[in-house]
Structure 1
Amino acid sequence: MSAVWLHVGQCGNQIGEEWWQILTSEKVPHAEADRHPFCSPDGQLSAICVDSEPKVVRKLQKRVRRGSFRETNLIVGKRGRGNNWAYGYHGLHSASEKNLLERTMESLRKEVERRDCYCGTVLFHSLGGGTGAGLSSRLCEVIRDEYSLGQILSVTVAPHQAGESPLQHYNALLCLSWLQRHVDGVLLFQNDAVLRRTAALLAKKAPVSDMQPQVSLSAMNTYVASCLAGLLYPLKAFTTGSGISMGMEPGELLRSVCPVPTMKFLHIAQACERGTVFWDSLASSVVHSLPRASHAGQPHYSTSVLAVAHSYQEDTFLLSRDSVLRKLKQAYRCVPWNPFPLSCWTDSLNIVEPGCHSHSLTVCANHSSSAELLQQVVARAEAMYKTNAYLHWYWRYGCEEEDFQQAFETLCSVADDYSRLGE
């Protein structure tokens, strides 16, 4: 069983580049079974890279020449989508570009047919751009319709709250509502939180000085890819007797952290350490960045929590397991109605920081802090919508008033469900 990995838009492809860099690194002693969830029988990665502009995807040509990427799976258009969800969702009406969606679905069909047993799609994209938000919304809708038995896991990046584009709130509103309707789980990364976490990691590694370390976009993408590797890299516990790894993409992960179908937005945190490991200390590092309460002072809760520990000293985690899980359960405030809110997986290979003395702890939680992002998106989009700001750009490319009304209702309903978790 394995998934197809779909990268859409500039952000989705840049994170994908870092993701595949980790997974194909020569520093990691990959077993053939570990490659199974990511590769077709011919050894090429089951990855499809899509963008309406060629500049980012063209960088992957080196991987095509090395034989890891299939050239027909690099799908590009000739012009962007203007940071406009409607433009990305409905596409261009010119004969030269209208088939971007069709070409993507054709490549996806071929990849599905190459797999021994297709289990779903992992979609990498952002909420802010026209391609990342609009085209990915259309793709997850079409994939759900054509491959209804496969699960869809979305790796979604939210833009900075300070603003990257005047249309980002509309794009995020519409894309999040489509994700809520069509995907099974959303690994949600917020650029502001990723920036803070990456800056903290760089400061920890850098020599002591008065200067704050400069955080590059590449470093932020690496952090996101590292979190994904901690969650999605195959574990020995999921390897069959024949030596084939089942992976966790996306079934086992979703079964662990999405017990309620209407709540599917997931918070991820990770901590790494070299040398002698103190798992209680790693757990403290993970929960340090966790939002504990809303701006209104309402405590956050979790429906479920998954902890994945990677260490060459796997037995040391098992000795500390109870105290680590107790700390996580307390910090994440697991709801009382879930009888088994905590899951724990371990493995002796740490792909996050390859080396004989490295350890990582990655925690994925269905956490009510996601409601704050949804509420912020709704509030800012609604303020613009009431003044008719920029709406003509959405009407121009096929968007309708019903799309906005349904999006507002969907996100308000989800945010309300999360806010009532502690009741």
Structure 2
Amino acid sequence: MSLIWLQVGQCGNQIGQEWWQIITSSGDDADRYPYFSRDGLINAICVDSEPKVVRRLRQQVRKGYFRDANIISGQRGRGNNWAYGLGSRLCEEIRDHYPAGHLLSVTAAPHESGETPLQHYNALLCLSWLQRYCDGVLLFPNDEVLKRAASTTDKKSYTSSGLQPAVSLPAMNAHIASCLAGLLYPVYSLKTKSTISIGLEPWELIRCLCPMASMKYLHAVQACRRGTAFWDKVTSSVVQTVPRANPQGRLHHSLSVLAVTRSSQDYSFLLSRDSVLTKLKHSYRCVSWNPFPVHCWTDPQNILDPSNHSHSLTVCANHSSAADLITSVLGRARTMYDARAYLHWYRRYGCEDGDFHEAFNTLDSVVEEYTNLGQQ
């Protein structure tokens, strides 16, 4: 199955660098096939409006990994303005030109405390475009990624709120890349009988987690351990981080859940499989009307930590907590829009009121679907 990895913008290319570092560290060339061509070069196109981030990728070009022709950069930024950007438009163009293809987006949502004055408009328009043109969206809110990355570092620094873990931007990108590798790196469960990977992982993830086009936002969490594989404890550390209810106290539910286990201890997970999957089903509150809500993939190697006696559990769910983020974006964007704030920055690049109205309507429908998920 053919597969192209498209990296767009500063964030996309920085996460991509961490992703390729994990993938190229694998000693098994056969498992690289879905992401590498037969000539050994990476199946990736890297796009950025500025050259600074892709310069590092050009260093890897000289090492023989990237095709130089697949690295596309400009000389000017986009001013953090969605109407002047690239990512959403590329999704639209890809869908128009390849309607039978499958698009899985990896999206980092900005910190709620604010990064730019335009971020709420940008998030509104971006999320609505992804809803229209992608088949699945792996959504990583920066605030949540910061907490996950902080839990894995011992360094401390003083901030305005006191002593806090010191988390770098590369550490946050590495966490996202680790979750992606946990989910998408070839697994034994989906290989042929001759143990050859044919690149089914992204397609199968979309198939089992996004069966309904109205709900396609995915929540991912991961736990990695060394030593004896106590899978029940690993599972407990994962489910503790699952959002339980929205700000109004309504319990969250999941449409479906995928668990991917990787262990250097062969197939130790199989001994605990039933209890782990039952725990995930209850903790994620899978809807009762889905007869097969929990899916499981296994692999006897842990690419995330190649050392002996290491194991990882990566869980991805179509979870109604996505509505919390979208509701926050809608509220803040509406406040700005009603005040007519900053709209001139979008109009100068052809983004009109109709685009905003359609974005509001699209995301309102998504929130309604997720809010009613547990009642269906």
TM over 0.5: yes
Which structure 2 residue ranges, 5 or more long, are not aligned?
157-161
* Corresponding position of 2:15: 15
- Could you tell me which amino acid in structure 1 is paired with residue 6 of structure 2? L
Alignment partners' CA distance in 2, 1:321 and 1:238 = 17
Alpha carbons 1:233, 1:248 under 8 Å: kept? no
Deviates more, 1:253-262 or 1:65-74: 253-262
Residue 66 (str. 1) matches residue 17 (str. 2)? no
**Cα deviation, residue 243, structure 1:** 4.6
* Corresponding position of 2:39: 42
Map residues 303-322 of structure 1 onto 2, 5 A cutoff: 303-322=255-274
* Corresponding position of 1:106: none
**Cα deviation, residue 242, structure 1:** 5.0
Out of 162, 168, 181, the position equivalent to 2:132 is 181
Alignment partners' CA distance in 1, 2:316 and 2:266 = 19
Out of 136, 139, 149, the position equivalent to 2:90 is 139
Alpha carbons 1:227, 1:268 under 8 Å: kept? yes
Residue 75 (str. 1) matches residue 72 (str. 2)? yes
Give TM-score scaled by structure 1 length.
Answer: 0.86
Alignment CA distance shift 1:263-1:252 (3 Å): same
Residue 294 (str. 1) matches residue 246 (str. 2)? yes
Which structure 1 residue ranges, 5 or more long, are not aligned?
89-134
- Could you tell me which amino acid in structure 1 is paired with residue 166 of structure 2? Q
**Cα deviation, residue 314, structure 1:** 3.6
**Cα deviation, residue 236, structure 1:** 1.8
Alignment partners' CA distance in 2, 1:160 and 1:237 = 36
Specify the SS of the correspondent of 1:255: helix
- Superposed CA deviations along residues 130-150 of structure 1, whole A, max 9, x for unmatched, are xxxxx1110000000111111
Alignment partners' CA distance in 1, 2:27 and 2:36 = 16
Alpha carbons 1:154, 1:186 under 8 Å: kept? yes
* Corresponding position of 1:194: 145
Residue 86 (str. 1) matches residue 83 (str. 2)? yes
- Could you tell me which amino acid in structure 1 is paired with residue 5 of structure 2? W
* Corresponding position of 2:27: 29
Map residues 1-400 of structure 1 onto 2, 5 A cutoff: 1-25=1-25, 28-30=26-28, 32-88=29-85, 135-203=86-154, 212-241=164-193, 243-400=195-352
Specify the SS of the correspondent of 2:6: strand
Specify the SS of the correspondent of 1:3: coil
Alpha carbons 2:267, 2:299 under 8 Å: kept? no
**Cα deviation, residue 153, structure 1:** 0.2
- Could you tell me which amino acid in structure 2 is paired with residue 339 of structure 1? P
Alignment partners' CA distance in 2, 1:273 and 1:410 = 40
Alpha carbons 1:235, 1:247 under 8 Å: kept? no
Give TM-score scaled by structure 2 length.
Answer: 0.96
Alignment partners' CA distance in 2, 1:242 and 1:400 = 54
Structure 1's consecutive aligned runs of 4 or more residues displaced over 4 angstroms after TM superposition are: none
- Superposed CA deviations along residues 236-262 of structure 1, whole A, max 9, x for unmatched, are 222224553122442111111112111
Specify the SS of the correspondent of 1:409: helix
Out of 347, 357, 360, the position equivalent to 1:405 is 357
Specify the SS of the correspondent of 2:302: coil
Alpha carbons 1:152, 1:250 under 8 Å: kept? no
* Corresponding position of 1:96: none
**Cα deviation, residue 55, structure 1:** 0.5
Alignment partners' CA distance in 2, 1:5 and 1:87 = 23
Alignment partners' CA distance in 2, 1:314 and 1:336 = 33
% identical equivalent positions: 64
Alignment partners' CA distance in 2, 1:350 and 1:2 = 24
Alignment partners' CA distance in 2, 1:54 and 1:287 = 40
**Cα deviation, residue 211, structure 1:** 5.1
Alignment partners' CA distance in 2, 1:326 and 1:268 = 18
Alpha carbons 2:190, 2:201 under 8 Å: kept? no
Alignment partners' CA distance in 2, 1:8 and 1:14 = 9
Alignment partners' CA distance in 2, 1:265 and 1:237 = 24
> Root-mean-square deviation (CA), in Å?
1.5
Alignment partners' CA distance in 1, 2:108 and 2:223 = 20
Alpha carbons 2:243, 2:321 under 8 Å: kept? yes
